[in-house]
Amino acid sequence: MDLGEYSSCLNVADLQASLEFYSALGFKIIENHRAENWAVLQHNNLALCLFQGHIERNMMNFRGADIQEIAAQIESKGLELSKPAHQEEDGSWSAEIIDPDGNVIYFNTFPDEREKYLKTGKLSAL
């Protein structure tokens, strides 16, 4: 099952404080959306997304794959999605499952991301 490209998404209380902290650890900002209270950082092959006020809790995020296919394969294995595959208002497709320990695994892909992922096998420059 191709889940797409992985990134960790963290719910942060203070974006600026978190950016300073992770920068001190060697992370570089690769997408700066501070005005919208989020940013994407990179360290080696890890993408770390920081969100202030956008997500309720930390999650694993997979992007670029076929969300409807992922949902069908998950359900065929007898697992239950907490949010079934659906199209969001912004045009992306998403689905969500919760692991046995309560960790959120979120799948989300925009049409242009899907095309890029199919062509290159990745979304970021990592």
Our count of domains for the chain comes to 1
CATH number of the domain residue 72 falls in? 3.10.180.10
Q: What is the mean pLDDT of the chain?
A: 94
Q: Is it the case that residue 125 has pLDDT exceeding 70?
A: no
Does the residue 115 lie in any domain?
A: yes
CB 48 within 8 A of CB 7: yes
Does the residue 68 lie in any domain?
A: yes
Q: What is the pTM of this model?
A: 0.84
Does the residue 30 lie in any domain?
A: yes
CA distance 82 to 76: 15
Segment 19-45, tens digit of pLDDT: 999 999 999 999 999 999 999 999 998
* Per-residue confidence (pLDDT) for residue 126, from 0 to 100: 58
CB 95 within 8 A of CB 103: no
Structure tokens at 110: 């925009």
